[in-house]
Amino acid sequence: MRLALILFSVLTSLSMFVTQQRPPAICRGKSLPITLLPGPKMTVLVSLPLRFGGTREPPRPWVHSFPSDKPLRLVIHSRDEFSDFWKRLTAPVPPGGWVPPLPEIDFSKDMIVVSAMGSRPSSGYLIFIDGACEVDGQVEVFVSSVEDGCGSELGIVTYPADAVRLPRSDLPIVFRDTQIGCTEWLNLRKRSSHGPG
């Protein structure tokens, strides 16, 4: 009996050091399409996997940084709300710098979901919206974040963010956050480096 307890203790201790992969996500309801905000077409070298199948482009340059010291989750249902968001988003652009025009969004059909990490001490951070599912009378928005650039970061303050369009819904929005470790992030990048699907 004592030997069995020792063996159990050793195995339990070792299991704490095994890298945990995130379990595959299953939408228990209706999977919702994720669409990037309109803008110039970009050359994409790496695509990001979506939770319920497929891939998407990384956050566009004009929305991948949102000036907020604290994490932020935002759902935008109207042109006025979007205009206020866009002013905050583009406020850090120096006078005379290029500011992208406010994209045209049909808010009778779409809504915008924003996820921002807040201030980070280097460029080694990323956040992206990688799934949306209508289930149990709510919309679940899945957000993944990489908290460590795996040694490829620059020592500058950044404000990682993402903004996407989802089909309009008046249901409550619930954000489901997942942190991705360095090893898993590198593996995801390798598997999806063929471009968007």
Is residue 162 a contact partner of residue 66, using CB atoms and an 8 Å limit?
Answer: no
**Most confident listed range (11-25, 37-51, 107-121):** 107-121
Provide CB contacts within 8 A for 108, sequence distance 6+.
168
User: With 70 as the cut, is the pLDDT of residue 192 above it?
Assistant: no
Cβ 116 vs Cβ 164: under 8 Å = no
Contacts of 176 (CB under 8 A, 6+ apart): 140, 141, 142, 143
d(CA 65, CA 52): 25
What pLDDT was estimated at residue 173? 97
pLDDT in tens, 75-89: 999 999 999 999 998
Q: Is residue 170's pLDDT more than 70? A: yes
Measure CA of the first residue to CA of the last residue in the chain; give whole Å.
55
User: Would you say residue 172 has pLDDT above 60?
Assistant: yes
Pairwise CA distance, residues 82 & 63, whole Å: 13
Q: Which residue has the tokens 């956040």?
A: 127
Q: Quick: pLDDT tens for 121-155.
A: 888 888 999 999 999 999 999 999 987 666 666 78
Burial of 43 per CB tally in 10 Å (0-12, 13-18, 19+)? exposed
Average pLDDT, the chain: 80
Which pLDDT score is estimated for 3? 35
**Model confidence, pTM:** 0.79
Question: What tokens appear for 48 in the block?
Answer: 């990001």
Contact yes or no for 144/161 (Cβ under 8 A):
no
